[in-house]
A and B are shown apart, each in its own frame.
Chain A
């Protein structure tokens, strides 16, 4: 079945440094979504990518969808302490299931 992996599992950065998490699917995706989960909270939707090679930006966050629609990345420029949390990608293939990646936990030191 469809599998979605993320790397790295953990990332510790100094405030102001950049951060990137990568997401890889075993199958071609129709779309990919990104979620953020704050410590002790529930996942909250950030963005959705649908087109091959699509790039979207939200302030300091840049999201990319690979040309083959099997991988994606989230890049945060100049991290802040408010960026702390776990970032998940979630991919939909040709079924009604949304499969989540394993997540990347980001810690930002002031």
Chain B
């Protein structure tokens, strides 16, 4: 049982390049989300999904695209990388928390992205 797997662990991009951060979970979780972590800013929600075929924007969605074609995978795409997207990216999943009580998030180990 691998949990939430993120690849790659590290990535360096040049401004304007595109890339996809991969996230996969094997816990049959409906809910998946992407956060970025910057010093002093905490974890900010980029996009999230409550099930296959459904995605929605979080707090900081600009510059990022997502899709959810399967329950297991939730890739994050950077179409044209900018230095402001230098950050640590975390993918997280849980059973879907509709209603009052959301179950805890399980996080991947993160991807450290540098854009030069």
| Residue of B41, B43, B107 most packed against chain A (CB within 10 A) | B43
Which residues of A from 73 to 110 have beta carbons under 8 Å from B?
A: 88, 90, 92, 96-103
Q: How far is the CA of A43 from the CA of B33 in the complex (A)?
A: 14
Q: How far is the CA of A50 from the CA of B103 in the complex (A)?
A: 11
Q: Categorize the interface residue count of chain B.
A: 20 to 34
Shortest beta-carbon distance, A36 to chain B, in Å?
11
In the complex, number of A-B residue pairs with CB atoms less than 8 Å apart:
70
The chain A residues found within 8 Å of chain B, CB to CB, are: 1, 4, 6, 9, 30-31, 33, 35, 41-45, 48, 50, 88, 90, 92, 96-103
Asked if B26 is at the interface (CB within 8 A of a chain A CB), the reply is no
Whether B101 contacts A30 by the Cβ 8 Å rule is yes
Measured CB to CB, the closest approach of chain B to A67, in angstroms, equals 17
Contacts of A100 in B (CB 8 A): 35, 42-45
In whole angstroms, what is the CA distance A97 to B61 when docked? Answer: 13
